[in-house]
Amino acid sequence: MMKEVKEAFRFVNSSALWYMLLWTISLVSSYLQLLRARILGSKSTPISASIDPNLGSSRPICVITGATSGLGKATAFSLAEKGFHIVLVGRSPQLLSETLKEIKSRNKDAQLKTFEVDMSSFKSIFKFKNSLEKWLPDSELHPSIQLLVNNAGIMATSSRPTTDGYDRMMATNYIGPFCLTKLLLPLLKNSSVPSRVVNVTSFTHRYASLRKFDKDSVTGVYLWALNKYPYPQTYEYSKLCLLLFSYELHRQLRLTDDSHHVTVIAADPGFAKTNIMHEFPSYVLAIAFLGFKILGLLQSPHEGAESFIDAALAPPETSGAYYFGGKGRTIESSQVSRDSKLAEQLWETSCFVRLISWIKRFSGRGDYNHRIEINIYLYIKSVNEIMMESKAGNKKSSTSSLFYEAPLGYSIEDVRPNGGIKKFKSSVYSNCAKRPS
């Protein structure tokens, strides 16, 4: 009893309590946007309740991360009922098996496949990508996917490094989804019908205080030097990063011919009663759930997942929208989240982090040094410069892979001193054809 009292006293005197109050205010402000839109008579975005007929007899394939509990599980149930072939992605083989059986017991016609993936691990994500690419033709399915729902997320209360040397919460909530999206982009582009990425963000992004998007911030490495792990700030920062990435991917796709084929939408579930806060003391959870229930803001996982379903089924022209509150409704995210310059910085850093990890893991740590890291940075800078020049000159790339897949699959020779940076930049220029804007 005394232990619980001491923990309660520490929590009341901690910054975590005040962050929860700020998050409550941000959630209320989101609902006020909905109320304002209702008063002004704004219409919600219509959603499609059926499968695109262009797919014929095959079902659209939907990949859902974090699909074994909470919002991800609720989303899997709903989309399976709507006819999607669901690819369940999770860390626990046991929970994956249980989720598959549970969905099957309620929907005998559901088509499901499970993959064990740790979204905080580059190696695990790459393994999944290769397994998925092999499974599709082996199952006589078209080598494409129609929907990716980046739902996996954690709220850790202590600092834990990943095998790649990054903060686990940043790796799971942002770096992993960034990497997975870029790896699966070819499968999304290969779809015969418009495809979509749905990134699950959070109202907590509105109070994200960190505005730096360098390597140490994005990977969470700077946290090692702190005396206490700032988990509320880290969580909201990770969600801000995912939102900035969503908007930047949407903007970059508009530079290519894929702008109406692959669309990107952010979805905010509000506050749902899930196990994401399971590391919090039980009394804290009880107080939080009671408080949100009194305010009428507490939702079940299925209610919270309504915004995910809206985002998944919305028409292509809604790409770049922020879905919240269900019923096809959208609101505006924070001003910081819509800052294109910050989004470009984050994109550049994220590619930088991705390449460093790829080279360290697959080329051997003995073949990696600081000079190579500098050249990786220059490589990413060259890609980013070309993209900015392409924007300014109203140019569109005839091969979108230059912007999206190129920073994922080249050899270590490309980033050695006097390596292939200049040659790569020249090849990109040669493929940039001027087209009518």
d(CA 394, CA 155): 42
What is the arithmetic mean of pLDDT over 285-311? Answer: 92
Contact 204, 268 (CB under 8 A): no
Q: Which two tokens stand for residue 437?
A: 């804007």
Contact 243, 174 (CB under 8 A): no
- String of DSSP letters for 262-280: EEEEEEE--EE--STTTTS
CATH 3.40.50.720 fits 26-41+56-338, yes or no: yes
pTM of the model: 0.84
41-84 pLDDT, tens digit each: 876 666 664 455 455 557 999 999 999 999 999 999 999 999 99
- String of DSSP letters for 342-363: HHHHHHHHHHHHHHHHHHHHHH
d(CA 71, CA 152): 9
Contact 124, 168 (CB under 8 A): no
What is the arithmetic mean of pLDDT over 133-147? Answer: 95
The torsion angle over the Cα atoms of residues 206, 209, 215 and 221, rounded to 10 degrees, is: -110
The closest of 332, 290, 331, 326 to 75, measured between CA atoms, is 326
pLDDT band (50, 70, 90) for residue 420:
very low
d(CA 132, CA 52): 23
The closest of 177, 335, 145 to 249, measured between CA atoms, is 177
248-267 pLDDT, tens digit each: 999 989 887 655 689 999 99
| Residue 234: strand, helix, or coil | helix
Q: Which helix (H) or strand (E) holds 323?
A: strand 322-324
d(CA 402, CA 428): 7
What is the arithmetic mean of pLDDT over 209-215? Answer: 90
The closest of 152, 144, 146, 159 to 177, measured between CA atoms, is 152
Strands 111-116 vs 85-90: parallel, antiparallel or unpaired: parallel
In the chain, where are the structural domains located?
A: 26-41+56-338, 340-434
d(CA 397, CA 430): 10
The number of angstroms, rounded, from the C-alpha of 4 to the middle of its chain's C-alpha atoms is: 36
Q: Is 270 left (phi over 0), alpha (psi -120 to 50) or beta?
A: left
328-380 pLDDT, tens digit each: 999 999 999 999 999 999 998 998 888 777 666 655 544 445 555 555 555 55
